[in-house]
């Protein structure tokens, strides 16, 4: 996707005070600001769904990258279904789930793909749409795509809700992007820090106290 079409979230204009939104009490002390309110996320997901329907050429296998991608996936699929039933176009969907894990605290280690040969064979000859919550370094997506392409899908596109503007990026850019975000660790809308914060609706920036409170200590 052409970067001109992303919403560029910058730290100066987009850091809303926590006081302006409803934040679960158990997370108040661990967050510094709301970066993207839930309502804005939903409006953007609706637009991405519309673009995906407009640009798709046949049945789609929509593939959720667990765990962080599950909320974006659920909302995106709902909006795609609404677009389809509005009569603009028929895009039959089937749904697949892949589990990938690499992060502990705020750093990534080896990318662990839980994907068997049997599961990969399902993708052969199909149009795949991979749905991910965030492209940070890009390492996870580059490895996942390399594995899927070995099984000769007809096409593979990637929708990521977020892309992080980080010097650690490997340069990978998805086909559909919701928001480009500053180089900060974000949580909420299913994005986690050591499995916490997935139950927070807004996308927020975690603070130093939160990183310490929920850290995995080796
Ligand atoms: O671009 P990268 O630097 O590779 O980071 C992006 C990946 O990191 C997160 O997954 P994580 O390992 O935290 O697993 P999770 O989805 O279960 O939270 C996220 O969901 C992406 O898959
Ligand atoms: O900023 C992030 N937040 C949550 N999970 C992530 N995985 C990579 N980057 C992030």
Closest residue to atom 10 of ligand 1, CA basis: 101
pLDDT for residue 3: 84
In sequence order, which residues have a C-beta less than 8 Å from that of residue 188 and are 6 or more positions away? 197, 198, 200, 201, 202, 203, 204
Annotated active-site residue 136? The verdict is: yes
Range of the domain at 52: 3-213
Residue 137 clears pLDDT 80, i.e. is over it: yes
CA gap 33, 21 in Å, rounded: 10
Q: For residue 159, which of 52, 24, 23, 19 has the smallest C-alpha distance?
A: 52
- Better pLDDT: 210 or 119: 210
Number of domains in the chain: 1
Q: Give the binding-site residues of ligand 2, using a 6 Å CB cut-off.
A: 68, 103, 134, 136, 185-187, 191-192
Q: Does residue 188 lie within any of the structural domains?
A: yes
Q: Does residue 197 lie within any of the structural domains?
A: yes
Q: Does residue 218 lie within any of the structural domains?
A: no
Q: Does residue 45 lie within any of the structural domains?
A: yes
Instruction: Decide whether any atom of ligand 1 lies within 6 Å of the 65 Cβ.
Output: yes
Q: Does residue 15 lie within any of the structural domains?
A: yes
CATH number of the domain bearing residue 149: 3.40.50.2020
> Which ipTM did the prediction report?
0.98
- List pLDDT tens digits, range 49-61: 999 998 998 899 9
- List pLDDT tens digits, range 6-42: 888 887 666 799 999 999 999 999 999 999 999 999 9
């Amino acid at each position: 996707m052409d970067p001109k079409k992303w919403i560029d979230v910058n730290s100066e204009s987009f850091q809303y005070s926590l006081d302006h939104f409803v934040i679960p009490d158990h997370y108040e002390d661990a967050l510094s600001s709301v970066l993207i309110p839930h309502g804005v996320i939903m409006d953007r997901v609706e637009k991405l769904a519309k673009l995906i329907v407009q640009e798709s050429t046949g049945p789609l296998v929509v593939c959720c990258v667990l765990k962080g991608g599950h909320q974006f996936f659920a909302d995106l699929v709902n909006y795609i279904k609404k677009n389809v039933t509005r009569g603009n176009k028929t895009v039959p969907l089937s749904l697949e789930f892949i589990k990938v894990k690499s992060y502990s605290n705020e750093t990534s280690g080896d990318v662990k793909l839980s994907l068997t040969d049997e599961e990969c064979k399902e993708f052969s000859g199909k149009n795949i749409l991979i749905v991910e919550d965030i492209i940070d370094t890009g390492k996870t997506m580059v490895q996942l795509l390399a594995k899927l392409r070995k099984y000769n899908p007809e096409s593979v596109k990637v929708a990521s809700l977020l892309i992080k503007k980080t010097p650690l990026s490997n340069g990978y850019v998805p086909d559909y992007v919701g928001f480009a975000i500053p180089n900060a660790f974000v949580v909420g809308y299913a994005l986690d820090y050591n499995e916490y914060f997935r139950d927070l609706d807004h996308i927020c920036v975690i603070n130093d106290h939160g990183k310490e409170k929920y850290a995995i200590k080796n």
